Amino acid sequence: DTGVSQDPRHKITKRGQNVTFRCDPISEHNRLYWYRQTLGQGPEFLTYFQNEAQLEKSRLLSDRFSAERPKGSFSTLEIQRTEQGDSAMYLCASSLAGDRDGSGNTIYFGEGSWLTVV
Amino acid sequence: AQSVTQLGSHVSVSEGALVLLRCNYSSSVPPYLFWYVQYPNQGLQLLLKYTSAATLVKGINGFEAEFKKSETSFHLTKPSAHMSDAAEYFCAVSPLYNFNKFYFGSGTKLNVKP
Sequential pLDDT tens for chain B (114 residues): 678 999 999 999 999 999 999 999 987 777 889 999 999 878 899 999 988 778 899 999 999 999 998 999 999 999 999 999 999 999 998 877 666 778 899 999 999 999
Could B43 and A33 be called an inter-chain contact, meaning their C-beta atoms sit closer than 8 Å? Answer: no
CA dist., res. B36 & res. B29, Å (int): 22
What is the DSSP code string of B80-113?
S--GGG-EEEEEEEE-TT-TT--EE---EEEEEE
Dihedral of alpha carbons A35, A38, A40, A46, sign: negative
Of B46, B53, B90, the CB nearest to A106: B46
Closest residue on chain B to A91 (Cα): B43
What number of residues does chain B have? 114
B11 to chain A, any CB pair closer than 8 A? The answer is no
> Which is nearest to A95 in space by CA: A25, A37, A34, A6?
A25
Could A41 and B106 be called an inter-chain contact, meaning their C-beta atoms sit closer than 8 Å? Answer: yes
Could B49 and A45 be called an inter-chain contact, meaning their C-beta atoms sit closer than 8 Å? Answer: no
Could A110 and B43 be called an inter-chain contact, meaning their C-beta atoms sit closer than 8 Å? Answer: yes
